Amino acid sequence: MLDIKQLRNDIDSLASRLAVKGYSLPISEFQSLESSRKSLQVETEELQAERKKASKAIGEYVRQGMSAEEAKAKVQETLDKIAATLSEKESELKAVQAKLDDILFSVPNIPHESVPAGKDEDDNVEVLKWGEIPSYEFDVQDHVDVGARLNGLDFETAAKLTGSRFAVMSGGVAKLHRALAQFMLDVQTNEHGYEEMIVPFMVNQDSLFGTGQLPKFGEDLFKLDFEQEYYLIPTAEVPLSNMVRGDILNAEQLPMKMTAHTPCFRSEAGSYGRDVRGMIRQHQFEKVELVQIVHPEKSFDALEEITQHAETILQKLNLPYRKVVLCGGDMSIGSAKTYDLEVWLPAQATYREISSCSNMTDYQARRMQARFRNPETNKPELVHTLNGSGLAVGRTLVAVLENYQTAEGLKIPEVLQPYMGGIEFLAYKK
């Protein structure tokens, strides 16, 4: 979330910048609530002072000739009146503060000055293309048909076991999926210096609040019916980023670079009718996540770095892709700037998102109270957090199945062959 001082002191300028994200800041409502908060705060503090003063009046009444019992009774009568009024004002203040919090929690992060204006994905700006689009001398099939011909991708059984938007993988396809995840982890840990983590696949409300999924996006989550409120993680960004929640790090600990391979669970609320065929949009999928916790002055350099780390996977797999910078209207609530990587899918003859890399600046850190001690001031300051997919394993599998298909089966990318026990080719089943 933003610093509320920004809303109090420079709301018009802030509203102008947030308009790039298509967000209309409720200026009048905020200012009205803020005025009420100030008045109630003053009244509450004055009543608290009166209560303190009244509590000390017993001795004065006794000196004026009252008995101790009379003095106590008189003071108690005054205290009771103050307490009733104070309770009323505190309740009003609490209600006003809750409304202010609702606004504060829903205000998006401020977009970086380099973020282009726009409403949706059609207004995103391409910054590069990499790789050559493959050509084929046969009718290209999508990943669903390729996976079925390899006898390794089964959506009907998954629907019987659970429902729609799930998949069962077997044989060579299952092995290829595992190989992709292991390859991604090895590149990020061995070449890019990330620390591999194994994290819980369930988190509490505080963790989801910290990274911004709650309270606004609760409908996108799978909530578990336990005595305690746990949620299945929508991405490893949640547990990884919350590793530093409530901490004050030493400056020497920055940057922190963490990666984890986890399942991800999303209800895909609002996406009904979109990508119903295949593995593009599922309730359960796997991802290798990249998270960096960095010094505030270095976060936009870190964004370029984390994006390049995700691009490396696509380049090593020789998968054609493009990089786009998201326009304001297509960005997430917490992002100050986001790059999407979109891989080429021959069956659709288009690029589809496979990674999203974002700089959240101090938006998540303020919610998490994740700080570092600045050696120049010796005072705690908020860190900046970044996250990116390095990559979505299922969508990478989709891209491999489609880009590496032949008339007889599937070629295995060279970099994956060691992870496949030396297998170079998966033949279609008769």
Q: What's the pLDDT at 74?
A: 80
Q: What's the pLDDT at 381?
A: 98
pLDDT digits (tens, 9 = 90+) for 60-85: 777 777 777 888 888 888 899 999 99
State the helix-helix crossing angle for 393-403 and 171-186, rounded to 10 degrees: 120
Active site positions, annotated: 266, 281, 353, 356, 395
397 and 280 in contact (C-beta within 8 Å)? no
Q: 3-state SS of the chain: helix, strand, coil percent to 5?
A: 45, 20, 30
Say which DSSP state 270 is in.
T
Handedness of CA 34, 36, 42, 48 (dihedral sign): negative
The response to whether 266 counts as a known ligand-binding position is: yes
- Region 26-106: CATH code: 1.10.287
Task: Quote the Cα angle for 133-136-140, to 5°.
Answer: 95
Give CA separation, 305 vs 313, 323, 346, in Å.
13, 14, 28
Say which DSSP state 203 is in.
E
The pTM is what?
0.92
Give SS3 for 152.
coil
The response to whether 355 counts as a known ligand-binding position is: yes
Q: What's the pLDDT at 344?
A: 98
The response to whether 35 counts as a known ligand-binding position is: no
Q: What's the pLDDT at 216?
A: 85
Per-domain boundaries in the chain: 26-106, 121-427
Same fold flag, 26-106 and 121-427: no
The response to whether 236 counts as a known ligand-binding position is: yes
Per-residue pLDDT of the chain (430 residues; tens, 9 = 90+): 999 999 999 999 999 999 999 999 999 999 999 999 999 999 999 999 999 888 888 777 777 777 778 888 888 888 999 999 999 999 999 999 999 999 999 999 999 999 999 999 999 999 999 999 999 999 999 999 999 999 999 999 999 999 999 999 999 999 999 999 999 999 999 999 999 999 999 999 999 999 999 988 889 999 998 888 999 999 999 999 999 999 999 999 999 999 999 999 999 866 666 777 899 999 999 999 999 999 999 999 999 999 999 999 999 999 999 999 999 999 999 999 999 999 999 999 999 999 999 999 999 999 999 999 999 999 999 999 999 999 999 999 999 999 999 999 999 999 999 999 999 999 999 8
The response to whether 332 counts as a known ligand-binding position is: no
CATH class of the domain at 121-427? alpha beta
Q: To the nearest 10°, the Cα dihedral for 201, 159, 406, 136?
A: -100
Q: What's the pLDDT at 71?
A: 80
Closest CA to 287 of 177, 411, 163, 210: 177
Q: What phi and psi, each to the nearest 5 degrees, are found at residue 406?
A: -130, 180
